[in-house]
Amino acid sequence: MNPALQGVITIIVGVGGCIGYFFLSNLVLDKFVFPPVGKHAGRNINRANLVRPWLFLLPAVIALGLYLAYPVVATFWLSLTDRDAGGAFVGAANYVQMMNEPKFWEAIRNNMLWLIVVPAAATAFGLIAAQLTDRIAWGNIAKSLIFMPMAISFVGASVIWKLIYDTRPADQDQIGVLNAIWVGLGGDPQTWLTIPFWNNFFLMVVLIWIQTGFAMVILSAALRGIPEETVEAAIVDGAGPFQIFFKIKVPQIMGTIVVVWTTITLVVLKIFDIVLAMTNGQWGTQVLANYMYDKLFRSFDWGVGSASAMVIMLLVMPILIWNVRTVRKEMR
């Protein structure tokens, strides 16, 4: 069957199925299971209202449980077993094997670098962009142009930046901007993506370029939410623009800065597409998610692959706990 047709049918079946389920399950509940008539009318209404939330929640709960909660457990179990041995329990063997691979440690080191550099740089650029664009008339246009890379896929962005890092032999014109500038300044053409260690930063630039717009949008809203009196009071006290920015504004939006920082951190922890498309982890640019993909789908080593996925989960854990605690506090 033509996939497009299949898609249309799926939409109809999916949407129709959802509506049908919600409508019919409500109908059955009200008309047949606990009808609000007869001598138990009041009791039945109460019972129906006890059941109804779960009718509303059921599809979502099943989907969440099956597609997100169960895999965490299953992956943990896979990381403790050996696929070649028919899924036999091997304890921590996969983890030990992973720890002995230099590529794993390279991935850990690079992920840490990414974790430090990208959120910091994107938040800083975003903050600068937000502060500057808020003060000028055409700020909204500027904002949407800086925000634009957000809509571009990581792979598309990788193609865009690969052109910038392109290298031609020394006797030809350079078609990559970076080399054109470098040669213009008197250097020899470099293959930027193969320079050990520094190539990581050339990859990070791509993500910073994408995430700055996100940081800018959120921080700009926060900056606008600052009560004007605090700024005016500072001006009356003789504070300069930089003092106002760093001593009055930034402290007041610290909460938002933390949120932006952690959101970008989550993106960084899962970074995969950019590395796959630009270097595929060669020349010392491996990261955890790509390492995991290598293990799972190229060497078909599910044990080690799942173990590295658990490492990513472990790194996400602090943010997860912090988020849950924040929400629990708000719910009370």
Residues in 227-246 that interact with other proteins by CB under 8 A:
228, 231-232, 235, 241
Judged by phi (left if over 0) then psi (alpha if -120 to 50, else beta), residue 325 lies in: alpha
Q: From the CB of 151, what's the least distance to other proteins, in Å?
A: 4
Return phi, psi of residue 82, to 5°.
Answer: -115, 120
Q: What's the min distance (Å) between Cβ of 224 and other proteins?
A: 7
213 vs 281, which CB is nearer to other proteins?
A: 213
Among 44, 200, 212, 285, binds other proteins (CB under 8 A): 212
For residue 124, what are the CA distances in angstroms to 60, 127, 184? 37, 5, 30
297 in contact with other proteins (CB under 8 A): yes
Residues of this chain, 49-88, that bind other proteins according to CB under 8 A: 49-50, 52-54, 56-57, 59-61, 63-64, 66-72, 74-75, 78
Q: What is the largest CA-CA distance in the chain?
A: 95
Angstrom CA distances, 271 to 80, 268, 322, stand at: 25, 5, 21
Binding residues for other proteins, total number by CB under 8 A: 124
Of 25-54, binders to other proteins (CB under 8 A) are 26, 30, 49-50, 52-54
Name, in order, each residue with C-beta under 8 angstroms of 65's C-beta and a sequence gap of 6 or more: none
Nearer Cβ to other proteins (41/63):
63
Among 33, 43, 92, 144, binds other proteins (CB under 8 A): 144
Helix (H, G, I), strand (E, B) or coil at 114: helix
**Neighbour-count burial of 271, counting CB atoms closer than 10 A to its CB (0-12 exposed, 13-18 middle, 19+ buried):** buried
**Of the candidate residues 146, 203, 207, 268, the single one contacting other proteins (CB under 8 A):** 146
Tell me how far, at minimum, the Cβ of 91 lies from other proteins, in Å.
Answer: 19
